[in-house]
């Protein structure tokens, strides 16, 4: 497999073989193909593995390799988390280095990597400076499988603390469908209203699902 990767490039490998090659470094002298396939089947793909909890990945490693959960399964699960965290940070860099509004493709790639496979709803705010450069991506709240409470005054207060005149709201729909709900639209309008007297502009509200990313601004809902 290493020879094939060297000759044809890593992009020539299917997902399970790429994962197999990575796992071999963590689990030497074992056939890691069954583990790679089991992880992809259980979590629905590479992004699903990256979004899964440490405990869930460790459980699957132990099952597939017939280990007792312990030092080896924890180490392998941690190695995987490190790999996917690096991927998230790489995805974030273009959005952080260029104006978020003009780097729309990089922004969408970043929010999808960060939230597409989150099992619970998470509400984040991207705080931008006057040039639309990213100051901070902050998780405002984590919720249940279908609700994360949001407090408009807290969002605006934090923008003032960071001297951020522009913000982008982001949250995910664990159901997979990014279609905005009535509550999503109402909450967005409340934050827009709260920020307006303080010259804090809400550029957009992005809703992330496995089926894509919905923009309330593009849909004419804000």
Residue 4 vs residues 35, 83, 100, 155: alpha-carbon distances, Å: 20, 22, 38, 50
Query: Measured between alpha carbons, how far is 156 from 135 in angstroms, rounded to an integer?
Result: 15
Where do runs of H (alpha helix) occur along 66-220? 71-97, 104-115, 152-161, 182-195
Instruction: Kindly tell me the burial class for residue 151, based on how many C-beta atoms sit within 10 Å of its own C-beta (0-12, 13-18, 19 or more).
Output: middle
Quickly tell me which residue has 């030092």 as its tokens. 71
pLDDT band at 85 (very low <50, low <70, confident <90, very high): confident
pLDDT band at 109 (very low <50, low <70, confident <90, very high): confident
What is the per-residue pLDDT for 5?
A: 66
Quickly tell me which residue has 């992009």 as its tokens. 11
pLDDT digits (tens, 9 = 90+) for 16-60: 888 998 898 888 888 889 999 999 999 888 878 887 888 889 999
What is the per-residue pLDDT for 51?
A: 78
At 5 the three-state DSSP class reads helix
pLDDT band at 100 (very low <50, low <70, confident <90, very high): low
What is the per-residue pLDDT for 146?
A: 53
| End-to-end Cα distance, the chain | 51
Predicted structure pTM score: 0.65
Query: Measured between alpha carbons, how far is 91 from 108 in angstroms, rounded to an integer?
Result: 10
């Amino acid at each position: 497999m290493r020879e094939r990767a060297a000759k044809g490039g890593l992009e020539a490998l299917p997902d399970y073989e790429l994962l197999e090659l990575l796992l071999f470094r963590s689990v030497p002298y074992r056939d890691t193909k069954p583990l790679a396939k089991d992880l992809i089947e259980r979590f629905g793909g590479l992004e699903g593995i990256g979004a899964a909890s440490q405990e869930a990945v460790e459980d699957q490693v132990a099952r597939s390799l017939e280990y007792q959960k312990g030092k080896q399964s924890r180490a392998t699960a941690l190695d995987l988390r490190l790999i996917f965290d690096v991927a998230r940070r790489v995805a974030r860099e273009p959005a952080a280095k260029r104006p978020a509004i003009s780097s729309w493709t990089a922004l969408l790639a970043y929010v999808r990597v960060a939230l597409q496979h989150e099992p619970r709803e998470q509400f984040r705010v991207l705080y931008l400076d006057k040039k639309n450069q990213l100051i901070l991506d902050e998780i405002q709240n984590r919720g249940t499988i279908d609700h994360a409470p949001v407090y408009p005054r807290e969002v605006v207060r934090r923008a003032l603390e960071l001297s951020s005149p522009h913000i982008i709201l982001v949250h995910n729909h664990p159901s997979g469908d990014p279609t905005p709900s009535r509550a999503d639209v109402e909450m967005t309008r409340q934050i827009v209203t709260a920020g307006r007297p303080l010259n804090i502009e809400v550029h957009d509200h992005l809703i992330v699902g496995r089926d894509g990313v919905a923009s309330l601004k593009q849909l004419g809902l804000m």
